[in-house]
């Protein structure tokens, strides 16, 4: 199954560093960030998991749970966690999935179907494509996907910014322009007519082009 924005995030049951979970049940009524890693004890991923741990409270403010995935056993991942804390200075207190049978990586189209059914003997290079970030809504639909090469550390500040945009645009029916940050002006979508916009935004807007109308970010 090919995944895209709007697809239902595949459900699965898996062992994690915090015990077994059923993914959709674990998400519950929250948003979720699933971010994957090709292997435990790899340098770039060590920095990423630690930085993400430092953002946990920021994601919690946004009703968003975070969960990692590594193509290793939960035992390996648990042995890795002290290194992550030492390097990044943040304790990883979110779950990390042990994908020993490659099931989750395949469900999420990060590994081909013929990759086998065991993490044993596989290297980070074998799993190089397991480097995706998924933003998933409470309805279990995928809202965004970011794919990175193994050699490039991900920008999780950008993931946080993207989450802010997705949540704002869904709740307020607006769009966000290039390099938008929380609090910046936003855009009235072209699908909203001027007549409808007058009712929704009685204080008016700035018309840059007939199809580009700017307003202050609506209050939450």
Strand partners, 212: 209
Catalytic residue among 9, 14, 34, 45: 45
The answer to whether residue 45 is catalytic is yes
CB 192 within 8 A of CB 200: yes
Which residues have a Cβ under 8 Å from the Cβ of 186 and sit 6 or more positions away? Answer: 168, 169, 172, 174, 175, 176, 177, 180, 214, 215, 216, 217, 218
Q: Determine the distance from the C-alpha atom of residue 145 to the mean position of all C-alpha atoms in its chain, rounded to a whole number.
A: 7
Close Cβ partners of 24 (under 8 Å, ≥ 6 residues apart) = 9, 11, 140
Q: Tell me the catalytic residues.
A: 45
């Amino acid at each position: 199954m090919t995944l895209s924005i709007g697809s239902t995030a595949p459900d699965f049951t898996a062992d994690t560093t915090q015990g077994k979970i059923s993914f959709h049940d674990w998400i519950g009524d929250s948003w979720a960030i699933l971010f994957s890693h090709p292997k435990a004890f790899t340098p770039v991923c060590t920095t990423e998991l630690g930085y993400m741990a430092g953002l946990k409270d920021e994601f919690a403010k946004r009703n968003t749970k975070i969960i990692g995935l590594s193509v290793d056993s939960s035992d390996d991942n648990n042995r890795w966690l002290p290194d992550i804390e030492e390097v990044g200075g943040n304790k990883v207190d979110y779950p990390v999935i042990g994908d020993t049978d490659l099931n989750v990586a395949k469900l999420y189209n990060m590994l081909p179907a013929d990759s086998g059914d065991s993490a044993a003997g596989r290297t980070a290079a074998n799993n190089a494509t397991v480097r995706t970030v998924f933003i998933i809504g409470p309805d279990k639909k995928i809202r965004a996907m970011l794919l990175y090469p193994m050699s490039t550390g991900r920008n999780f500040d950008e993931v946080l910014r993207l989450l802010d945009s997705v949540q704002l645009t869904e709740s307020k029916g607006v769009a966000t322009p290039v390099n938008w940050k929380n609090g910046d002006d936003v855009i009235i979508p072209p699908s909203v007519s001027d007549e409808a916009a007058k009712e929704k935004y009685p204080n008016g807007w700035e018309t840059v082009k007939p199809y580009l109308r700017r307003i202050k970010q609506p209050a939450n």
